[in-house]
Structure formats: structure tokens, C-alpha cells
Amino acid sequence: MDSRPCFVAFCALLTGLVGCSTPRSTEVQREPVDRNSAAYKTGQAAHKVANGAEKAASVAAQKLAESARKAREGWKEQSRIDREKKRSAGDRENR
């Protein structure tokens, strides 16, 4: 007999019980946020810096991908030119 369905049902039941037993008063017990405190302003500044760094990294990754694509194209083109030179040199020797 496969015990997977029983295990899944047990996990679902356990998750439901834990979710229902969490006290709702944790929201009320929080201290009020002082938006003028140095810590709050430092957190805001850090958040802005992190967002800016994420955007800059995204732009840099796009530029890097474009550069890599161009480098591959150049590599392939030079490879094609070299093959054509070898073929034409081989044709001259066979004449």
C-alpha cells in the first residue's frame, strides 16, 4: 500500500493547524514606526541603493550579452574568411 496520499494529507492537516494557531496579536504588538528616525531613513536609503544597483546590474548584463553576441558573430565571420582563404589557396596549388 502506498503511503504517499496519507503523508500528503497529514502534511496538509499539519500546515492548516499551524496556520490557524498563529496568534493574530503579533500585528498589534509591533512598535509604531518612527519615520523620522535615523535607522528608518538609513533603511530607506539602503533600499534605494539596492534597487539602483539591481537596475544597473540588469543593464550591464544586457550590454554584456549584446557584446558577447557581437563577439561570436565576429568570430564566426573570421572563421568563414579563413576557410575561404584556405580553399582558394588549395585551389591554386591543385592547378
Whole-number pLDDT of residue 75:
97
Q: With 70 as the cut, is the pLDDT of residue 36 above it? A: yes
Place of cell 563577439: 71
CB 40 within 8 A of CB 34: yes
How many Cα neighbours within 13 Å face the side chain of 89?
A: 6
Whole-number pLDDT of residue 62:
97
Whole-number pLDDT of residue 89:
81
Place of cell 584556405: 86
Mean pLDDT over the full length of the chain: 83
Q: With 80 as the cut, is the pLDDT of residue 19 above it? A: no
Between 49 and 28, name the one with better pLDDT: 49
Position 91: which residue type?
D
